[in-house]
Every structure is written in structure tokens, then in C-alpha cells.
Amino acid sequence: MPSGRTVLTFAGLTVREASRRRLLVAVAILTLIVIVGTGWGFAQLRSPTIDHGHPLSQLTLTVAAAQMLIVVAFLFAGVLALIAVLVAAGSISGDIESHLALALLARPVRRSELLLGKWLGMATVLVAYAVVSGTLELVAVDVATGYVPPHPVQLIGYVAALGLNLLTLTLLLSTRLAGMTAGIIPIVCYFMAWIGGIVGGVGQALGNNALMAAATVTKILLPTDGLWRGAVYAMEPAAIIATVRSAGAFAAANPFSAAYPPATAFLVWAVIWFAAILALALWSMRTREI
């Protein structure tokens, strides 16, 4: 069994190493700029010049703010996915190639402790970014428009889970592949899963079983699009949900709308997928020649 103290030690070292990277500092600065810029954009929705010199009605303001927030959240989800991949891509392979792993794995340190410590440290950084950036953006939207999504905690949770899935997948690939290769594959898979969700919606609208089956396969292989749809649903007010449901199957092809929350079976599968990928990463690390 891995030692909890050793895992926490490696996690702390990973967090400190990540905090010293200029990449994360740049991302933090750019995120603040984006939050300020989008806050200004949301504030313009209250401008009386938008609706022929009259302020928008509360319902119209709510719907417009929700739609804009979904697009902004998609940007943050993409940034989170990129951070997850960049911090994990060379975490294991880089240590092996530089022979640092030989020093880190001096007895009685186990390989599983090193991998779990690195995962925990990177996951901490990732979740902290999701919580802080998401909270600041929601506060900016609230101050600018008075709109707060129906389920803000679920929104941040779904986006953070999306990032953790990609982080874990990248860490698995990093135990066997070079850093660049381990980073490119998850990003491509992320966008393929996103496109798969759109294809599935088109198939549902057209009654095409082949397209729907292809979308189901992508959702099983990488559940990130399903998590994104959960985040979208968490941001939609009742007026948008009613409109999306009235549109029927055709609305399913829109990646920026969700008629229903993720099914319980899907959420269970997402947890199983996550645990399986992490277990596979531990096995791959244990059997890797160093």
C-alpha cells in the first residue's frame, strides 16, 4: 500500500514546482484579463442603447447573460483542458528521460507513491484554478447583470471534473510516451469527443442510428463532452431549458445547449472511467522500465 505521507510529500513538491512555472503565471494573468474584459461585456447588456434606447427586460437580460456565460465557460473549459495536458504531459516521461526518477524512487519509495503524489499535486492546482477562476467570473457576471446560474457549484464541479479526466489520461500516456506525444493525444481526443457530441445530436435529429452509436462510443471512451453538457445545463435558466426542450431532438446538436442534466448512468460511468484510467496509470508506471 502506498504511504500517505510520501504521497503528500510528492504532491507538495509538485504544487511548488507548478507554482514556479511561468506558464501558470501567464495563464493566471490572462485569466484575470479575461474576467475583467468579459465583466465589462456583460455590463454592456444593461446599456439602454441595446434595445432601441431602452433597457432590456429582466427575462431578456437573464437569457442573454446565460448565453454569453455559456460561451465564456467554454473558453475556460478549454483553458482548463490545456492546463491539464501541459502540466501532466511531461511529468513522468520527463523525470524518466532525465533520470530524475532514479533518484526519486530510491528505496523505500514506491512508484505508485510518486505517481499518486504527482497526480494529487497537479489535481490540486487544476481544481484550484477551476474554483477560483469560475467563482471570480460568476461574481463578475452577478455584479454586471444580476444573473447567477441556477447551479453554480455543479457548474464548477463539472468543469473541474472535465479537467481531471484529461489530467489523468495525460498522466497515463506520460508513463509510456514522450511529453509532446502524451500532450497532443488527449487534446485531439478532447475535441473529437466534443465533435462526437455534435454528431450524436445530428443523428438524434435525423433518426440516424449509426451517428448516434458513434456518439455513444466517443462518450464512453472519453466522457468529457457529457461533463461539458452537464456544465451547460447548470448554467441555463428555466426559460432557456423550456425553449430547448420545445425544440425537440434538433437542439441536441447544439453544443451550447442542454435539455436535460447528465443521466445518472453516465455519471456513474464517468467515475468508473476515471478510476480505471488512474488504475491503469499505476499499473503502467509499475511495469515501466526505468
**74 vs 256: CA distance, rounded Å:** 8
- CB count in 10 Å sphere of residue 93: 22
Let me know how long the chain is. Answer: 290
- The yes-or-no verdict on residue 226 having pLDDT over 70 is yes
3-state SS assignment for residue 51: strand
Lowest mean pLDDT of 59-63, 64-68, 145-149, 274-278, name the range.
59-63
Q: What is the pLDDT of residues 157-196, one digit of tens each?
A: 999 999 999 999 999 999 988 878 888 999 999 999 999 9
Which of left, alpha, beta for 207 (phi over 0: left; psi -120 to 50: alpha)?
left
Residue 54: strand pairing partners: 51
Q: How many domains does the chain have?
A: 1
Q: Determine the Cα–Cα distance for residues 229 and 215; give it in Å rounded to an integer.
A: 13
Q: pLDDT for 6-53, tens place per residue?
A: 888 888 888 888 777 777 888 889 999 999 999 999 988 877 655 566
Listed in sequence order, the DSSP H helices in 20-57 are 22-43
* pLDDT for the residue numbered 36: 94
156: three-class secondary structure by DSSP = helix
Q: Which domain holds residue 125?
A: 4-287
Q: What is the mean pLDDT of the chain?
A: 87
Query: Whole-prediction pTM value?
Result: 0.90
209 in Cβ contact with 215 (< 8 Å): no
